[in-house]
Structure 1
Amino acid sequence: MPGTVSDVRTPADIDPELAERLRKSAVSTAVTGEPDLETLAALRKSGLLATAVPRAYGGHGGDASDINRICERLAHLNPSLAIMVFQHFAVSARIAEWGSAEQKDTLLPALADGTALAASAWSEQGAGAAKRNLSSTAVRKDDGTWVLDGAKSFTTTASVADLYLVLVRTGDLAEDKDGGYGAAGQTFFLVRAENPGLAPDLSLDLVGMRGSATGFVSLRGCVVTDADRLGPEGRARQIIAGVRESGASLGAIAVGVAQAALEELTGHLERRGQLASPLARTRLVDMATRVESARAIVGRAGARASADPGTTTLHSKLHASTVAEEVCLEAVRMLGSSGYTTASALNRLLADARAVALMGPANDLCRELVASTWPK
């Protein structure tokens, strides 16, 4: 099949039994709209979650290229679980980069061995795609503790995560003239799932990524200590900027989805005896070329080989997610009436590709952020 991902290498490769389980889970959760806890448990035990954790803390010490390769491979099998793993990697990397000695010693080994699964809780209604107008707050009390209040939306891995990286406002809400992602006066806190002030809610009924446990997280009198703060107070924006600079790209998820769609279409045409058609083969080659172009720019982002790695990461997410949507849609069209059913895997993949385009930074925001780097 064109452009297969059989050559993808990972620090702890996916064994065939787990791969088959991931494939089946992708089909079943698309129907149920609920996370597959048994497959998630198997993934926790696989060793893959250790990728972004330094070796000193029991991890694989992987870089952005490793993260992107693994996420592509996982998304090729199961996009919902792939996005959960991507968020786990992101939180692991932020703790490795910004965490205190105590946070690293306590949290990173658990994140590496799968005992703990991490999630990011940044988005909320009314905050805008750039997360500049947060309503959720953290107030410091006289005893040094913080009380978090607010509501987060579209939190992936909600209800099944053990640790949440929560973005809140700790300073005054002021006009932000600098643009960009996040705003001054915002702070990150690491909140454990057992905290009585944190309440996840999976009432969101998503079109795509239906097995990703994406939902709401409420913060009501959620008490944390200063030891739970990640990085300096009011400096969350600097931490967010480092996410892009790292080269880990959501584009990797999109490439995996596009590759799966291409292979699904190829298999369908082969079964129908239509693969010998010159027109079909030409269209497949064009689609495969677009997937390869997306894979290449994601690889460039992961290698941090450009003069401006952060901008390249934005380009990679924007381009790869656009390609994934286009390839999935074209594949559905080539199926004809066979693609006009809820049972079609390509319709599921198309919805998953669309979900990547909407994930932060959403594609329109990616365009704004790239354009902001140009001379005025």
Structure 2
Amino acid sequence: MAARERLTSVHDHHAILRRDYPGLDEALRRDAATADVAGRLSDDVLAHLRSSGILAAAVPAAYGGLGAGAATTNDLIRQVAAADPSVAIILFQHYAVTARISEWATEEQKQRFLPPLATGEWIAASAWSESGAGADKRNLSTTADRTATGWSLNGAKTFTTGAGLAQLYLVLAQTSAPGGDDGIYGSDGQTFFLIEADRPGLIADTGMDLVGMRASATGFVELHGCRVPLDNVLGPVGQAARIIAGVRQSGATLGAVSVGIAEAALELALTHARRRGLDGAQAVRHRLADLAAQVESARALVERAGRRESSDPGTTTLLSKLHASRTGEQVCLEAQRLLGSAGYLRDHPLNRLARDARAVGLMGPTNDLTRELVSMPWTA
């Protein structure tokens, strides 16, 4: 068998997406490049995302969903990321909010919010970050004040993925003065609110012109006297830090996005080697083998985080994000080097993947904060 015939594609890591959500898979692969240039999802991709059924994965079966755990949702996110990382980030946030509702909501809230999240009628987004608040979310300026019938929220959120697309936002606000807690992510006196996009006083703006994840609808959410009833509070008042701490225990990880990016970059490198007849060169094959090993190691750690098999699932989840995001960047860089001048063209898909890979490391918890969260116990 010729060397070129032996150098085939990496294992088919996208079988579930192609089998169960073929319309979405096709639309993603067709429109990813044009969506990146336009800085927005095409109407066709958004329609397929809503109608495909993939948004139901993390919703419990009792509320119309598939009842999938982190291992499955991580895998779906990874496969979507291999086609379009921007959509994978939107999907990750949707799953994250869905999981928080499933875990912390009252029964009335579950009946109210989960069914439309399962059908695709609603997309969910997280609105936590603020300008000047820092990656650790400990200096929030968004406030929520008690009223006679509920709460009134005022403030502004930045880098909200899915802003303008979402019908439901999970908003983090300060409801009382922070105390002397010693946590390093979130603060006491903070509360989560579930706020519908059409509620008066909430304004979403997708005007952020990003370098990476350009079609992720990442933008601002402003709150101007936004009034919500008491039953829009998620979890205990003033105890959002407990919910935040539990997120990483779930095994859901942004590392899944990075693995999908790395797989796509490796596939582009393999395709280039075959087309240019470089697969007969031992040096090229060995470089590709090293990249494949990096991708598989990151994928294995993300899978382990999703299965929650370790004695410390939270640390494994954090490490999976850190390792996979660094791997995604490194694989894209090495693939660019292998392509040489061919990868220097502005519209080469590898350049889009490289920009998206870098963006994951800046998403919360950022890689620097992740290192702090992992290493803090070592100082004791």
Task: Assess if the C-alpha contact under 8 Å between 2:23 and 2:52 holds in 1.
Answer: no
Task: Assess if the C-alpha contact under 8 Å between 1:162 and 1:192 holds in 2.
Answer: yes
Instruction: Indicate whether 1:222 and 2:229 are aligned.
Output: no
2:175 is matched with which residue: 165, 170, 178? 170
Task: Assess if the C-alpha contact under 8 Å between 1:2 and 1:288 holds in 2.
Answer: no
SS of the aligned residue for 2:279 comes to coil
Deviation at 1:15, TM superposition (A): 3.5
Deviation at 1:4, TM superposition (A): 2.9
Aligned mates of 2:12, 2:127 — CA distance in 1: 31
Deviation at 1:140, TM superposition (A): 0.4
Deviation at 1:25, TM superposition (A): 1.9
Question: Residue type matched to 2:174 in 1?
Answer: R
Instruction: Indicate whether 1:41 and 2:35 are aligned.
Output: no
2:61 is matched with which residue: 45, 55, 74? 55
Question: Residue type matched to 2:163 in 1?
Answer: A
Aligned mates of 2:10, 2:296 — CA distance in 1: 7
Instruction: Indicate whether 1:3 and 2:10 are aligned.
Output: yes
* Superposition map of 1:291-370 within 5 A: 291-370=295-374
Question: Residue type matched to 1:107 in 2?
Answer: F
Computed over aligned residues only, the root mean square deviation of the Cα atoms, in angstroms, reads: 1.4
Deviation at 1:57, TM superposition (A): 0.5
Deviation at 1:17, TM superposition (A): 3.4
Aligned mates of 1:317, 1:58 — CA distance in 2: 30
1:258 is matched with which residue: 259, 262, 265? 262
Instruction: Indicate whether 1:156 and 2:164 are aligned.
Output: no
Residues 318-376 of structure 1, C-alpha deviation per residue, up to 9 Å, x if partnerless? Answer: 00000000000111111111111211111100001011111000000000000012252
Aligned mates of 1:15, 1:61 — CA distance in 2: 17
Instruction: Indicate whether 1:188 and 2:192 are aligned.
Output: yes
Instruction: Indicate whether 1:123 and 2:123 are aligned.
Output: no
Aligned mates of 1:128, 1:308 — CA distance in 2: 26
Shift in alpha-carbon separation, 1:224–1:41, aligned structure 2, 3 A: same
- Normalising to structure 1: TM-score of the pair? 0.96
SS of the aligned residue for 2:377 comes to coil
Question: Residue type matched to 2:264 in 1?
Answer: A
1:112 is matched with which residue: 118, 124, 136? 118
Task: Assess if the C-alpha contact under 8 Å between 1:8 and 1:69 holds in 2.
Answer: no
Aligned mates of 1:73, 1:283 — CA distance in 2: 24
Deviation at 1:116, TM superposition (A): 0.8
Question: Residue type matched to 1:333 in 2?
Answer: R
Q: Which has the higher helix share?
A: 2
SS of the aligned residue for 1:374 comes to helix
* Superposition map of 1:77-96 within 5 A: 77-96=83-102
Instruction: Indicate whether 1:136 and 2:145 are aligned.
Output: no
Aligned mates of 2:230, 2:376 — CA distance in 1: 35
Structure 1 range deviating more: 226-235 or 266-275: 266-275
Instruction: Indicate whether 1:372 and 2:379 are aligned.
Output: no
Deviation at 1:51, TM superposition (A): 0.6
Instruction: Indicate whether 1:69 and 2:75 are aligned.
Output: yes
* Superposition map of 1:258-277 within 5 A: 258-277=262-281
Aligned mates of 2:316, 2:120 — CA distance in 1: 31
SS of the aligned residue for 1:372 comes to helix
SS of the aligned residue for 2:191 comes to strand
Question: Residue type matched to 2:88 in 1?
Answer: A
In structure 1, the partner of 2:4 is: none
Instruction: Indicate whether 1:200 and 2:204 are aligned.
Output: yes
Aligned mates of 2:9, 2:367 — CA distance in 1: 27
Structure 1, unpaired ranges of 5+: none
Task: Assess if the C-alpha contact under 8 Å between 2:58 and 2:98 holds in 1.
Answer: yes
SS of the aligned residue for 2:140 comes to coil
Shift in alpha-carbon separation, 1:219–1:52, aligned structure 2, 3 A: same
Task: Assess if the C-alpha contact under 8 Å between 2:186 and 2:241 holds in 1.
Answer: yes
Deviation at 1:145, TM superposition (A): 1.6
Task: Assess if the C-alpha contact under 8 Å between 2:23 and 2:48 holds in 1.
Answer: no
Residues 240-296 of structure 1, C-alpha deviation per residue, up to 9 Å, x if partnerless? Answer: 111100001100010000000000111112111112211111000000000000000
